[in-house]
């Protein structure tokens, strides 16, 4: 298990950064209004108004923005405003010792999957896979409530009360939660930030990919021997796949069905209106019979 991070309190200062694609500043109001709702104060990083081709500033600007937020003792959490692409470009230059010495909440998903892998492994810290601030107006009330896990240590319990779940393979497993966007997980392979799957429960989610594209990525994970020692698999949202759910489930069964581990599909975690935020780096229990995922808190008192 990775180290949990200090919880937030009303009135705390948080940082808002863009470590990937360019932000549309005119859409920032809704994101900041949401932080107001949570009772948080905020500072805006230089990257929010920066542009370098398709990136939110050049690599040095994005790296510096992250480091400044980490170094600032008043900043208790770092929220990523937007995904897209770009976080992998700064991963090698991040000062992970600085992060480990200044543990604070790191929140984002999609392209930030790359940094979840990096921070979990090199700063040994829990991170949070949750909706980008720029999509605060597009997520439902339940997804907004998931931000409250940052204010006090609460165990997350995901059952069919949230969404219908499908057991792809039975069993019960306990292991550290890891994962994120399938494309970005595959892009870590062969790098020092390669996703570590041994004894862990892997979350995967994706959007806008065909079944053949998803097949190709799962095949690469398989050939990289990343599926052999998994403890369990949580299949999140696969949206805009241009295929039906049955085809997706058959593909998942082909890759994960004979591993002797629990595999459950249907979790609303990913690119969807319901995007349930969860911590990475803490222990979780996946029960495929009861269709329940329980995850330990990511923050401490």
Name, in order, each residue with C-beta under 8 angstroms of 190's C-beta and a sequence gap of 6 or more: 224
Instruction: Report CA dihedral (214, 218, 224, 225) to the nearest 10 degrees.
Output: 170
Q: How far apart are CA 123 and CA 4, in angstroms?
A: 11
Write the DSSP symbol of residue 110: G
Told to judge if 60 belongs to the known catalytic residues of this protein, a careful annotator would answer no
Catalytic-labelled residue, pool 110, 135, 187, 237: 110
Q: How far apart are CA 155 and CA 19, in angstroms?
A: 29
Catalytic-labelled residue, pool 7, 129, 271, 272: 271
Q: How far apart are CA 147 and CA 219, in angstroms?
A: 34
Catalytic-labelled residue, pool 87, 143, 187, 205: 205
Q: How far apart are CA 258 and CA 246, in angstroms?
A: 18
Told to judge if 110 belongs to the known catalytic residues of this protein, a careful annotator would answer yes
Contact 13, 41 (CB under 8 A): yes
User: Given its phi and psi angles, is residue 271 left (phi above 0), alpha (psi -120 to 50 degrees) or beta?
Assistant: beta
Give DSSP secondary structure letters for 59-80.
HHHHHHHHHHHHH-TTEEEEEE
Told to judge if 67 belongs to the known catalytic residues of this protein, a careful annotator would answer no
245-256 helix and 211-223 helix, angle to the nearest 10 degrees: 10
User: Given its phi and psi angles, is residue 127 left (phi above 0), alpha (psi -120 to 50 degrees) or beta?
Assistant: beta
The token pair at 63 is 């790296």
Contact 253, 141 (CB under 8 A): no
**Catalytic residue annotation:** 110, 205, 271
């Amino acid at each position: 298990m990775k180290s949990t991070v200090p919880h937030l309190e009303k009135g705390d200062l948080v940082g808002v950064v863009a470590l990937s694609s360019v932000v549309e500043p005119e859409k920032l109001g809704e994101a900041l209004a949401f932080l107001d709702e949570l009772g948080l104060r905020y500072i805006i990083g230089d990257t929010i108004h920066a542009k370098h081709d398709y990136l939110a500033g050049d690599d040095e600007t994005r790296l510096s923005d992250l480091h400044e937020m980490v170094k600032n003792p008043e900043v208790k959490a770092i929220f990523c405003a937007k995904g897209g692409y770009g976080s992998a470009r700064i991963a090698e230059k991040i000062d992970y010792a600085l992060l480990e010495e200044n543990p604070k909440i790191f929140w984002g998903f999609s392209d930030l999957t790359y940094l979840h892998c990096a921070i979990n492994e090199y700063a040994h810290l829990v991170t949070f896979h949750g909706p980008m601030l720029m999509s605060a107006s597009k997520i439902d009330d339940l997804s907004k409530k998931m931000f409250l896990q940052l204010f006090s240590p609460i165990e997350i319990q995901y059952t069919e009360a949230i969404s219908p779940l499908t057991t792809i393979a039975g069993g019960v497993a306990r292991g550290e939660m890891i994962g994120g966007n399938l494309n970005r997980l595959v892009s870590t392979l062969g790098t020092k930030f390669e996703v570590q799957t041994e004894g862990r429960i892997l979350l995967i989610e994706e959007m806008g990919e065909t079944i053949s594209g998803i097949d190709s990525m799962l095949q690469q994970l398989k050939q990289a021997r990343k599926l052999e020692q998994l403890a369990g698999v949580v299949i999140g949202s696969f949206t805009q796949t241009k295929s039906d759910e049955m085809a997706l489930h058959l593909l998942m069964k082909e890759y994960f069905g004979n591993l002797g581990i629990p595999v459950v599909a249907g979790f609303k975690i990913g690119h969807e209106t319901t995007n349930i935020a969860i911590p990475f780096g803490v222990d979780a229990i996946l029960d495929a019979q009861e269709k329940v995922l329980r995850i330990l808190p990511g923050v401490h008192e």
